[in-house]
Amino acid sequence: MAVTKFEVDGLNVWADPETFEVTRERIAEYAAATNDPIGAHLNGDVASPVFAIVPAFDALMAPALDVVPIDIFGRIVHGEQDFHFHRAIRPGDVITARGRVIGWDSVDSGARLSIHIECRDQNDELVNEQYLIGFFRGVDAGPSIGEQVPAHRFEASLRDNAPVAKVAQHVDLDQTFRYAPASGDPMPIHLEEEVARDAGLPGIIAHGLCTMAFTSWAVLTEVGASDVNRLKRFAVRFSKMVLPGDDLETRIWKAGSSDGLTTYAFETARGEDFVITDGLAVIAD
């Protein structure tokens, strides 16, 4: 496989910032679109964890334009997402998001682009930081450059014990049509059957971040007392596509506790297939 040259001059260069005004209505719409049962989210009092992607959505892939050759840019898929929360988002916040590529590496199946995003409020206070991997299947970007995103691997030995909680979840047939406007993600593979099939998919697929939002309320309701303010980190790897109508199960294990923080590991399965792996949640006691 020939090596695809990524542009080193774009490394650690902040892309232009994007600003988003948070409303109570948008918070509530996002909660409803992700089947979130937590009242404070549904009422728009405080944003659910994965709502943090909404103000950052336009900043997600902008940094990649300075690094990735344009002829492969359209092949990027969301491989991992990792939120580090400094505080929860609330109505009235004006969030400014900016991103930068911090590095890249290659594995057997393709190239991984590591991106860092920071979100600040109107007082320039840090609200959250986000790390994500943009994955290019079948691309060799050569030797590792720069930094990679923080690790959040699932420890296989945890499966030797029963999970502390299991949460059954259902992806509604209209889920993508509710999630798209609530999140600001209009990608046609989530909305148009013909476009999805032309892309080699079995049909419309659910947004990965919608599935991540499902896992976040599962974790919060089971081990976080439904309090988003206690969540300090939340990370997943997107393993397999999810389809409207799928039945899922999120399984949660306690992984450790220290310094007033408890760490949980989780996975989300559809039957025998895992759609979310390497799940990590850090919750303040």
Please report which helix (H) or strand (E) contains residue 20, including its range. strand 18-21
Question: Which of these CATH numbers, 1.10.150.80, 3.30.930.10, 3.10.129.10, 2.40.50.140, describes 8-284?
Answer: 3.10.129.10
Give the pLDDT score at 74.
79
Mean pLDDT, range 2-9, rounded to an integer: 92
Mean pLDDT, range 25-52, rounded to an integer: 98
Closest by CA position to 142, among listed 281, 285, 3: 3
Mind listing the pLDDT tens digit for each residue in 134-164? 999 899 999 999 999 999 999 999 999 999 9
Mean pLDDT, range 187-211, rounded to an integer: 91
Give the pLDDT score at 216.
98
Give the pLDDT score at 1.
61
At 196, the pLDDT band (50, 70, 90 cuts) reads confident
Mind listing the pLDDT tens digit for each residue in 50-104? 999 999 998 988 999 999 999 888 788 899 999 999 999 999 999 999 999 999 9
Mean pLDDT of the chain: 96
Mind listing the pLDDT tens digit for each residue in 214-234? 999 999 999 999 999 999 999
- Provide the terminal-to-terminal Cα distance of the chain, rounded to the nearest Å: 49
Contact 51, 30 (CB under 8 A): yes
Q: How many degrees, rounded to 5, is the angle at CA 273 between CA 272 and CA 279? A: 115
Tell me the domain boundaries of the chain: 8-284
Mean pLDDT, range 260-274, rounded to an integer: 97
DSSP 3-state assignment of 245? coil
Q: Which residues contact 174 (CB under 8 A, 6 or more apart)?
A: 244
* pLDDT > 70 fraction of the chain, expressed in percent and rounded: 100
